[in-house]
Chains A and B, each alone.
Chain A
Amino acid sequence: MSLKQFYDNHIFDDSLKQKTLFNPYYVNVQSGLDDALMIDGKEFINLAANNYLGLANDERLKKAAINAIQKYGQSLCATPIASGCADLFESLSQKISNFVGLESSVFYPSCYQANNGLFQAIAGKDDVIIIDRFSHSSLVEGARTVGCKLRPFLHNNMASLEKNLQHSSKHKQIFVVTESVFSTEGSIAPFAGIVELCKRYDAVPVIDDSHGLGVIGKRGRGIIEHAGIVNYEGIYTASLGKAMANQGGVVCGKKSLIDYLKYNSSHLIYSTAITPSILAGIQAVIEIIESEFDVIGKRMWYYRNKLRDALIEFGFDVKHAEAPITSILTGSSEETILFAKHLYQKGILATPFIYPSVPENQGVIRMIVGANLKEPTLDKAIEILKTLKPI
């Protein structure tokens, strides 16, 4: 193949952009996540970020990160196994483990790497991975790369899960993989039941709590608290770039497994370690959640309910959600992008999900109201949405 043919084979298909004259992706944000978001010199109401608790631009978090930069610099320029581990790495590991209710933790540069690196290290060809069919791409791709038997089960469907477990006994290891909060629609996995089924069938549960950590549970400690699980014996992963308002991913579980990953997970071992300023930022966020979740969490839910109720009243097809996520069904990819365009033109940034992120013709616009927004800002967004005719 010639170089020209190679490059011709790798051209982004922008037909949707041509049809809708709009590209909602890779927008140039020119500010932090304040009440208003600046894009191309214009103020926007940000309903797109996963900044559930509104902490991304919090002064305490910024101060913690700046102090860490003053002490450690911007990077330790090494992988964690070499000399990339600031002392914060270990102390924060203990802090986040206590926070979510598990023994030990290790930080990856992203949750995508955490989910991929986890399966690469613990699963093999003779195993079976039973996975919720709506699971995030990082879990699916991580599972696929193992090359073992893959058994998707119907979304949050315990009967479908159990049927798959019943036919998995011949495999060496059985993993049951799911997310806590499914971010496109806001459904929550029946995780206590899943853990019970895993015990019955000798399976290892793996939960990705990216949209649950800092969001669900009475004290914001995520799915394990939310589901009331005591002595969880499975594996837990989460992104630290959503409610935790930083970056990176974490894998938590039994100390013996975390120690194993530290020496066997190539995605961790061969990636430059997460920076000290990020670790300090995560520590600050945990402290804020520990002391203020009562107040911030209430505001997050109040905003979410206010937006959801208004959209239902205006006639939008709002997906049922148990998490503080509001998604409107918008149909085809073209209809979904066009709706996002209307919102954008009126100063609202929301997240469109189109095929293949969602099934064909089941596009959605997702909105998350960060607790940092002022109520009049949300009211303004609601007024704008009122003027947009439901598709």
Chain B
Amino acid sequence: MNLEEKIINLIKENSNCKSEIYRHSNIIDDLNIDSFDRLMIVNAIEDEYSIEVNTSDIEKFKTVNDIVIAIESRYL
């Protein structure tokens, strides 16, 4: 499973999101992810990859793609 698939799975497992999730999905508009969901998702990503994501980065995540790129380029 590549990083994108893994992150999409973590979003599914750690939110109440019922919609289909794509790389270009907007976290708020398309997936109805609220601040608590976002925190759960980031915690799950941190646990999965043994990393610590900066709070300032979390606030910038608008799309699934933003998360994938940030994790890939800055944390792995």
Chain A residues in the interface with B (C-beta under 8 A): 133, 140, 150-154, 160, 163-164, 167, 356, 359-361
Closest B residue by C-beta to A358: B34
B32 and A164 form a contact (CB under 8 A): no
- A154 lies within 8 A of B40 (CB): yes
Task: Give chain B residues whose Cβ lies under 8 Å from the Cβ of A356.
Answer: 34
Supply 20 A–B pairs (Cβ within 8 Å), ascending by A.
A133-B40, A140-B36, A151-B39, A151-B43, A152-B39, A152-B40, A153-B40, A154-B14, A154-B40, A160-B14, A163-B44, A163-B47, A164-B43, A167-B43, A167-B46, A356-B34, A359-B32, A360-B32, A360-B34, A361-B32
Overall SS of chain B's interface: helix
Query: Residues of B at under 8 Å CB distance from A?
Result: 14, 16, 32, 34, 36-37, 39-40, 43-44, 46-47
Contacts of B46 in A (CB 8 A): 167
Give the Cβ gap from A387 to chain B, nearest Cβ, in Å: 32
- Contact status A359-B43, CB under 8 Å: no
Asked if residues B39 and A150 are in contact (CB atoms below 8 Å), the reply is yes
When chains A and B are docked, how far (Å) is the Cα of A154 from the Cα of B43?
12
Asked if B32 and A152 make an inter-chain contact with CB atoms under 8 angstroms apart, the answer reads no
The reply to whether B47 and A152 contact each other, CB–CB distance below 8 Å, is no
Distance of A356 Cα from B28 Cα, bound (Å): 13
Q: How far is the CA of A154 from the CA of B39 in the complex (A)?
A: 11
Is the CB–CB distance between B40 and A359 below 8 Å? no
Q: How far is the CA of A361 from the CA of B28 in the complex (A)?
A: 12
Q: How far is the CA of A151 from the CA of B43 in the complex (A)?
A: 7
Say yes or no: B37 contacts A133, CB within 8 Å. Answer: yes
Residue of A nearest to B41 (CB): A152
Nearest-CB distance from B49 to chain A (Å)?
12
Q: Are B47 and A167 in contact (CB under 8 A)?
A: yes
Within the complex, the shortest CB–CB distance from A159 to chain B, in Å, comes to 10
Q: How far is the CA of A96 from the CA of B70 in the complex (A)?
A: 52
Q: How far is the CA of A16 from the CA of B37 in the complex (A)?
A: 25
> Which residues of the partner chain A approach B47 to less than 8 Å between Cβ atoms?
163, 167
Q: Chain A residues with Cβ under 8 A from B34's Cβ?
A: 356, 359-360
How distant is the Cα of A154 from the Cα of B37 in the complex, in angstroms? Answer: 9
B42 to chain A, nearest CB (A): 10
- Which of A152, A160, A163, A164 contacts B36 (CB under 8 A)? A152
In the complex, which residues of chain B have a beta carbon less than 8 angstroms from the beta carbon of A167? 43, 46-47
CB neighbours of B40 from chain A (8 A): 133, 151-154
Nearest CB in chain A: distance from B76 CB, A = 18
